[in-house]
């Protein structure tokens, strides 16, 4: 299991605390330093079952500068969104946990972290 985090994020720190309390085996990826490429973002989106706009932090300064709120949310715009996430990783919602069963979750709640744990303990 891998968790994408920003150490400054309280939700990320909370997820790590819960993973540690449960004795989970996981790898930390500080995605602002180890930036995922477009192909990695596509793979995680597939695992999440989401579209790039679903995991975009639209309140970030970079999102406002890019005018993301005005971008179409359709198949034709998908690559443009993915390129924006790869170019501005701060826009990626966090934390994201990739579970051992091939799925992934945006783990912003304790319930989501526990769900990722259950998917990884099989």
Active site positions, annotated: 9
From the number of C-beta atoms within 10 Å of its C-beta (0-12, 13-18, 19+), residue 103 rates as middle
How many other CB atoms sit within 10 Å of the CB of residue 20? 10
Q: In whole angstroms, how far apart are CA 53 and each of 13, 27, 117?
A: 24, 25, 25
Q: Do the bridges between strand 96-98 and strand 2-5 make them parallel or antiparallel, or are there none, so unpaired?
A: antiparallel
How many other CB atoms sit within 10 Å of the CB of residue 12? 22
């Amino acid at each position: 299991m891998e968790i994408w985090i920003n150490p400054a994020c309280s939700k990320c720190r909370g997820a790590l605390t819960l993973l540690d309390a449960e004795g989970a085996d996981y790898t930390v990826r500080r995605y602002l330093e180890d930036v995922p490429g477009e192909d990695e973002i596509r793979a995680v989106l597939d695992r999440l079952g989401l579209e790039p706009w679903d995991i975009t932090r639209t309140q970030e300064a970079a999102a406002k500068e890019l005018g993301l709120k005005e971008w179409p949310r359709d198949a034709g715009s998908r690559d443009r969104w993915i390129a924006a996430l790869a170019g501005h990783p701060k826009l990626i919602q966090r934390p994201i946990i990739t579970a051992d069963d091939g799925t992934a979750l945006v783990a912003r709640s304790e319930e989501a972290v526990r769900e990722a744990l259950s998917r990884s303990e099989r």
